Amino acid sequence: MKLLVTGGAGFIGANFIHYVLGKRLEYAITALDKLTYAGNRQNLTGLPEDRFRFVEGDICDVDAVNELVSAADAIIHFAAESHVDNSLSGPEAFIDTNLTGTFRLLEAARKYNVRFHHVSTDEVYGDLPLDAPEQKFSESTAYHPSSPYSATKAGSDHLAYAWYRSFGVPITISNCSNNYGPFQHVEKFIPRAITDVLLGEKPKLYGQGEHIRDWIHAQDHADAVLRVLEKGEVGETYLVGADGEKSNKQVLESILEIMGKPHDWFQKVQDRSGHDRRYAIDASKIKQELDWQPRHDFQSGLKATIEWYQQNRHWWEPHKSDTEATYKKAG
């Protein structure tokens, strides 16, 4: 099985490649990645040379995409501009990569009749109220994205489905909740907070910290994507989550406790514009139909993630000051 993995040098793409090459000895992977600020070639070291190849390139580049897709059995499409805050300060790159890039890949999949798995997010459904814990997103929830990031991801989901219905491209889609784990860029909440504490800075909580995210370890997400690729039904969407709902304040308190700081050792900062209140996934379909289960529990996964950032300062330290400068510039 020859996979083309887009965005393989990013957080979840890299976790997926390590997971699959370790678990499936009959698989070979080519990673296509533009190496934007979010991509890091170091995420893909130590992989078997006879089964892994890295290509630096853009998913919007028709020739590069056609050449790679024609040689693949399946595309796993992770590449995206992925950070909500960046989409508020500069949405254009999100249109280019998330919409035009997905379109280019789908056209190549159509031309060469290649299986296409589209990796998406629960943010396409908008948000849920804080005071209705019984409400969760499911495959039948209406799309209602709120940020430029989630709007472009929603658009890319619609393109994938349309290429199935209109042209018969064999697609599947997965919409996952918030991931954590090794290799996550320091712009995101959990790594930003961990690395702040490691540098002796108080971590930042947006608003009052009452917003809720549904956390899943990136390796559990990787396992779900592999399951959908191998057992999923073409044309179907699968929601992926691990029943990991926590408020941002609870997450921060757990990080501070594990790192030996007082539970109120954080600073409240200006809230995100249009901040989604709560995400929560009902993952019954993938559990029942594809026999998938998450394996990591949040507390031990968080502890291991903190240890990874403690042990890999060389990986994140060069990017920390640029990231904080970007936040400062955006206000």
Q: Which parts of this chain interact with ligand NAD (CB under 6 A)?
A: 6-7, 9-13, 32-36, 38-39, 58-60, 78-82, 97, 101, 119, 121, 153, 176, 178-179, 185
* 18 phi/psi in degrees, rounded to 5: -60, -45
* 107 phi/psi in degrees, rounded to 5: -65, -40
Question: Nearer to ligand TDX by C-beta: 69 or 186?
Answer: 186
Residue numbers 111-150 binding ligand TDX by CB under 6 A = 121, 123
Active-site residue, 123 included = yes
Q: Which of 63, 49, 52 is nearest to 9 (CA)?
A: 52
Q: Please, where are the H alpha helices in 184-244?
A: 189-198, 218-231
Residue 206 CB, shortest distance to ligand TDX, in Å, is 4
Residue 25 CB, shortest distance to ligand TDX, in Å, is 31
Site size for ligand TDX (CB under 6 A)? 16
At 79, list the tokens.
């590449």
- Contacting ligand TDX (CB under 6 A), which of 213, 217, 221, 296? 213
Distance CA 141, CA 122 (A): 10
Are the CB atoms for 266 and 204 separated by under 8 Å? yes
Question: Nearer to ligand TDX by C-beta: 167 or 265?
Answer: 265
Confirm or reject binding of residue 308 to ligand TDX (CB under 6 A).
no
Q: Which does 7 bind (CB under 5 to 8 A by kind): ligand NAD, ligand TDX, none?
A: ligand NAD
36 SS3 class: coil
Task: Kindly name the residue from 107, 123, 127, 223 that is annotated as catalytic.
Answer: 123
Task: Kindly name the residue from 122, 157, 196, 214 that is annotated as catalytic.
Answer: 122
Residue 230 CB, shortest distance to ligand NAD, in Å, is 19
Distance CA 307, CA 326 (A): 26
Bridge-partner residues for 216, per DSSP?
A: 179
Active-site residue, 127 included = no
* 240 phi/psi in degrees, rounded to 5: -125, 125
Residue 233 CB, shortest distance to ligand NAD, in Å, is 20
Compute how many other C-beta atoms are within 10 angstroms of the C-beta atom of residue 42.
12
At 91, list the tokens.
């949405």
Question: Nearer to ligand NAD by C-beta: 34 or 296?
Answer: 34
Residues marked active site are found at 122-123, 149
